[in-house]
Homo-oligomer: A and B are copies of this chain.
Amino acid sequence: MDSTVATRLQQFIQTKGLRNTPQRDAIVEAIFSSDEHFTADELWDRIRKTQSKSSRATVYRTISLLVEAGLLHEIDLGDDQKTYDPNFIDSPAHNHLVCIDCGKVIEFEDDNIRLLNDCAARRLGFRASKQSLKIEACCEALRLHGRCDNLIEARIQGKRLPKHR
């Protein structure tokens, strides 16, 4: 886990007059020891498989805390549940590409896109503070050769598949 997370979280906790608890630590660890996106309940499952104990309510509450602290971002994957992304600390301005065949999510950064969006906002008389770009796309592999390797991988791993199509 990036030590930046620990530092920034400590700062947030201090400032707000909050406390350190083993449950919170375990949840934060579970989130930031991976770069995977997750829903609240997926995280709760992940926690249960460790030796540490936390109630579902605490998981929800900690997620809210981290979002408020700006360490975790809520993203829209077209899912019904809220999805969270722990990678905004390392890549503060990344975008998402979602494969409509297998649901795989690819993160990428692009300064030109960011800049162009910034300009668009300015032209409308605003100052952009946050951009969220999601591109839904199909892999050329599937279109050209009738197979999406990600799709097979996703099936094996039992991942949530997209509802579209």
Chain A positions 116 through 137: 1 when the CB is less than 8 Å from some CB of chain B, otherwise 0:
1100110011111111111111
Minimum C-beta distance from A146 to chain B (A)? 15
Q: Are B130 and A143 in contact (CB-based, < 8 A)?
A: no
A26 CB within 8 Å of chain B:
no
Nearest CB of chain B from residue A68's CB, rounded to whole Å: 10
B contact residues around A30 at 8 Å (CB)? none
Interface members, chain A 90-112 (any B CB < 8 Å): 95, 97, 99-100, 106, 108, 110, 112
Q: Which residue of B lies closest to A117 (CB)?
A: B135
Closest-CB distance, A81 to chain B (whole angstroms): 12
Interchain CA distance A128-B136 in the complex, whole Å: 6
Q: Please tell me the number of chain A residues within 8 Å of chain B, measured between CB atoms.
A: 35
CB distance from A84 to the nearest CB of B (A): 14
Alpha-carbon distance A143/B122, docked complex (angstroms): 13
A2 at the interface (CB under 8 A from B): no
Contact B137 A129 (CB under 8 A): yes
**Chain B residues positioned under 8 Å from A76 (CB to CB):** 76, 132
Beyond A121-B135, A130-B135, list 12 extra A-B contacts (CB 8 Å). Answer: A76-B76, A97-B121, A97-B124, A117-B133, A121-B137, A126-B139, A126-B140, A127-B137, A127-B138, A127-B143, A132-B133, A132-B134
B-binding residues in A (CB < 8 A) = 74, 76, 78, 95, 97, 99-100, 106, 108, 110, 112-113, 116-117, 120-121, 124-141, 143
